[in-house]
Chain A
Amino acid sequence: MHTDAAPHRPSPSLATWLIACLSLLGAFALSGCDKPTRDVYQPVADSAEISAWFYHLVLAVDAVILAIVVTILVVAIVRFRKKPGDEELPPQSFGNMKMEVAWTVIPTLIVIGITVPTLGGIFELARKPDLNQKIIEVEVTGKQWWWEFDYAKEKLNTANELHVEVGTQVILNMTSADVIHSWWVPRIGGKRDANPGRRYPFYFRPYQVGTFDGQCAELCGASHALMGTRVIVHPKTGADSYEAWVAREQQQAQKPATPQQEAGQKVFMTKGCVACHTIRGVSELAVGARSRTSGPNLTHVGGRTSIAARTLPMTAQNIAKWVKNPQAVKQGALMTNLGLSDEEAAAVGAYLASLK
Chain B
Amino acid sequence: MASIADFARAPAPTYHMARPPKTGLMDWLTTVDHKKIGILYGLSGLFYLLVGGLEALLFRIQLAVPDNDFLTGEQFNGLVTMHATTMVFLAVMPIIAAISNYFIPLMIGARDVAFPRMNAFSFWTFLFGSLLLNSSFLFGGAPNAGWFGYAPLTGSQYSGSGIDFWWTGLAMLAISSMVAGVNFIVTILNMRAPGMTLMRMPVLVWMILVIQFLLAFSFPPITVGLILLGFDRTFGTVFYQVSMGGDPQLWQHLFWLFGHPEVYVLILPSMGIVSEILPVFTRRPLFGHHAVIFSGVAIGFMGFGVWGHHMFTVGMGPIADAAFASTTAIVGIPTGVKIFNWLGTLWGGKITFPTAMLFAVSFIPMFTIGGLSGVMHSSPPIDLQQHNSYFVVAHFHYVLVGGALQGLFAGVYFYLPKITGKLLSEKLGKVHFWVFLAGMNLTFFPQHFLGNHGMPRRIYTYPADAGWNTDNMLGTIGVILMATATLVMVYNILTSWKKGKPAGNDPWDASTLEWMTTSPPPVHNFDFTPVVLSERPLWDHKRTPGFEIPVPETSESIHMPSNSWRPMLISVCILLIMVGLLTHLWPLCIVAALGIVAGVYLWVTEPA
Contacts and interface: CB of A to CB of B under 8 A. Distances in A.
Interface string A90-101: 111111100110
A130 interface: no
- Pick from B153, B290, B341, B474 the residue with the most CB of A within 10 Å: B153
B365 A73 contact: yes
A115 interface: yes
Interface stretch (B183-191, B368-376, B564-572): B368-376
B55 interface: no
Given A77-B351, A107-B337, A331-B74, A200 B346 contact: no
Interface string B317-361: 110011001100110110011011101101111111110000001
A91 B349 CA distance: 8
Contacts of B451: 40
B381 A122 contact: yes
A224 B3 contact: no
A118 B321 CA distance: 10
B308 interface: no
A39 B389 CA distance: 12
Interface string A35-47: 1111111000000
B388 A217 contact: yes
Interface string B409-442: 0000000010000010011001000100110011
Nearest to A179: B153
Contacts of B381: 50-51, 53-54, 118, 121-122, 124-125, 190
A90 B349 contact: yes
B423 A217 contact: no
Contacts of B430: 12
B63 to A, nearest CB: 10
B599 interface: no
Contacts of A198: 249, 315
A39 B457 CA distance: 15
A110 B372 CA distance: 12
B284 A90 contact: yes
Contact of B384 (A91, A190, A226): A190
Contact of B333 (A32, A104, A213): A104
Nearest to B368: A69
Nearest to B74: A222
A266 to B, nearest CB: 34
B453 interface: yes
Interface stretch (B161-169, B205-213, B225-233, B460-468): B460-468
A168 interface: no
Contacts of A261: none
B456 interface: yes
B578 to A, nearest CB: 25
A58 B506 contact: no
A9 B428 CA distance: 12
A66 B369 contact: yes
B375 A114 contact: yes
Interface stretch (A20-28, A237-245, A247-255): A20-28
B314 interface: yes
A76 interface: yes
A91 B365 contact: no
Contacts of A9: 354, 426-427
Given A23-B438, A114-B379, A217-B389, A28 B446 contact: yes
B283 A3 contact: no
A214 interface: yes
Contact of A40 (B325, B380, B385, B470): B385
A182 B146 CA distance: 15
Nearest to A227: B459
Given A3-B506, A40-B453, A51-B381, A219 B313 contact: no
Nearest to A220: B153
Given A1-B509, A182-B313, A221-B153, A197 B242 contact: yes
Contact of B454 (A11, A36, A94): A36
Contact of A31 (B354, B474, B542): B474
A269 B442 CA distance: 55
Contacts, number: 367
Contacts of B446: 28, 31
B150 interface: yes
Size class of B's contact patch?
Answer: 35 or more
B470 A31 contact: yes
Contact of B348 (A80, A118, A195): A80
A219 B73 CA distance: 11
A16 B346 CA distance: 20
Number of contact residues on A: which range applies? 35 or more
Contacts of A33: 470
A186 B468 CA distance: 14
Contact of A6 (B313, B332, B503): B503
Interface in A64-113: 65-66, 69-70, 72-73, 76-77, 80-83, 86, 88-96, 99-100, 103-104, 107-108, 110-111
A190 B313 contact: yes
B470 A196 contact: no
B237 to A, nearest CB: 16
Ranked nearest first, the 10 interchain pairs of A and B with the lowest CB-CB distance are: A190-B384, A4-B504, A38-B454, A197-B242, A200-B315, A225-B459, A36-B453, A36-B467, A186-B454, A95-B288
Interface of B: 1, 3-5, 72-74, 77, 144-146, 150, 152-153, 158, 242-243, 247-249, 282-285, 287-291, 313-315, 317-318, 321-322, 325-326, 329-330, 332-333, 336-337, 339-341, 343-344, 346-354, 361, 364-365, 368-369, 372-373, 375-376, 378-389, 417, 423, 426-427, 430, 434, 437-438, 441-442, 445-446, 449, 451-462, 465-471, 474, 501-509, 542-543
Given A3-B5, A96-B287, A191-B387, 16 more contacts: A1-B3, A5-B508, A6-B503, A31-B446, A58-B382, A70-B365, A73-B364, A90-B349, A95-B341, A103-B337, A111-B332, A115-B325, A126-B318, A191-B385, A195-B249, A221-B158
Interface of A: 1-9, 11-12, 16, 20, 23-24, 27-28, 30-41, 48, 50-51, 53-55, 58-59, 61-62, 65-66, 69-70, 72-73, 76-77, 80-83, 86, 88-96, 99-100, 103-104, 107-108, 110-111, 114-115, 118-119, 121-126, 144, 174, 178-180, 182, 184, 186-187, 189-193, 195-198, 200, 213-226, 331-332
